[in-house]
Amino acid sequence: KKMSWFPVPADSDFFFFILPFGIFSTNNSNPHCGVALGDHVIDLYELYKLNYFNDLSFDASIFGESTLNSFMSLERNCWRAVRNKLIDLLSIDSNNRSLRDNTNIHSIVFHEMKNVQMHMPAKVGDYTDFYSSREHATNVGIMFRGVENALQPNWLHLPVGYHGRASSVVLSGTDIVRPRGQLQIDKTDPKKGSTYDACKLMDFELEMGFFVGGSTNPLGRALTIEEAEDRIFGAVILNDWSARDIQAWEYVPLGPFTAKNFATSISPWVVTIDALESFRCSSSAGSEQIEPTPLPYINDPNYVNDSYNVNLQVAIKPEGSDIAYPVSNTNWKYMYWNMKQQLVHHSVTGCNMKPGDLLGSGTISGQNETAYGSMLELSWRGAKEVVLKEGMVRKFLKDGDDVIMSGYAENDKGQRVGFGKVTGKILPAGSYDKTPLEMDNNNNN
């Protein structure tokens, strides 16, 4: 178990070998690139200016940019080179003591997290949300179509997805205004039409998201399953907020629209695939996909080892409460279609995938009621109450609720990878109605 000479708290999400990338600023600097280590941020731009990256094969001045897009656009060997360089500089066992012994620069290279402002890690060019957890898809199918028709005929043949809205992907901590839209007047008789009102069935969706990296494939040239992993830069926790009643009225025949375009929240630190290597596992579907076997272009020869054993939790902190109450505990391995397959299928028609594109896994639900990844499932479409504590229940989310998602992986070697948290507090509908249109927000920082 490798250790860093730089102190890392025992309960930290960001141990030495994780080194996730993000964008931060201080009172004295504009947003630029950093890496998380314990309760500190390593300033990559300062390391560049101090000549620690002179031996890299690319111009490391890109670490002074306000997004990770340029870094993401490089090849995987460049991402690895930076990671390996940092390991060399930080390892207690390394012969390279140039950073360790140069204590005069520690105050400008290492920043306490409590003193920095985090920003969106990338400019999201396009956002796509999948529907790839069989457990979740089965639950939703049973609710709306019955056990016999839970999965649509195409579901086991391809990763179902839809194009989301990149402009409303926001950083953890951004408040979420309850949306308004069209609601069906009589849920038993759609011919009675709709009314305009605030969403009554506000929901979260527990997901993982990944950023595309590497060189953009030319328009018309699909990615192959062999190429896919090298085009995955890293992963974040993702909350794809949902307005269930708005969705119920609008989704036929083209799927979600305004019910899903008002906000998607992501965690600030991007954990690279290399950092997750020790946590590979089989998916909940087993070691291979059979009945049916996927078509050759999307059939992953390493399917047995291309999911990740990452524990995920959702908690709700009601307004005025000091306590966040867990409502779901699940795992990223509950995915039938993995990241490689999602990316390859997205490009199958020749779609060009660009650095900074964000792909969401779809809601991740486990095999029992405590592992469902949405209030829709936890309350079984509102038929059950979800108990936060005695006398406090939910069926869907209330104004003032702060939804907190977290994730970590841990193995028998004592290694732990944390993703941090993604949070969002629900504000009442219309909270920003009188706000000037030019108002700045976290998504534009």
As annotated, the active-site residues are 136
Dihedral of the alpha carbons of 358, 298, 140, 151, in degrees to the nearest 10? 160
Query: Of 424, 408, 407, 405, whose CA–CA distance to 416 is shortest?
Result: 408
For tokens 């069935």, what's the residue? 201
Strand pairing class (21-25; 117-119): antiparallel
How many residues appear in the chain?
Answer: 445
What are the start-end ranges of the E strands in 294-383?
A: 307-308, 311-317, 325-331, 358-360
What percent helix, strand, coil does the chain show, rounded to 5? Answer: 25, 30, 45
Q: How far is CA 204 from the centre of its chain?
A: 13
Neighbours of 286 (CB within 10 A): 10
User: With contact defined as beta carbons under 8 Å apart, do 360 and 169 qualify?
Assistant: no
Q: What is the DSSP string of 170-204?
A: EETT--EEPPEEEEES-TT-GGG-EEEEE-SSEE-
Neighbours of 257 (CB within 10 A): 14
Neighbours of 175 (CB within 10 A): 16
Q: Which residues pair with 409 in a beta bridge?
A: 417
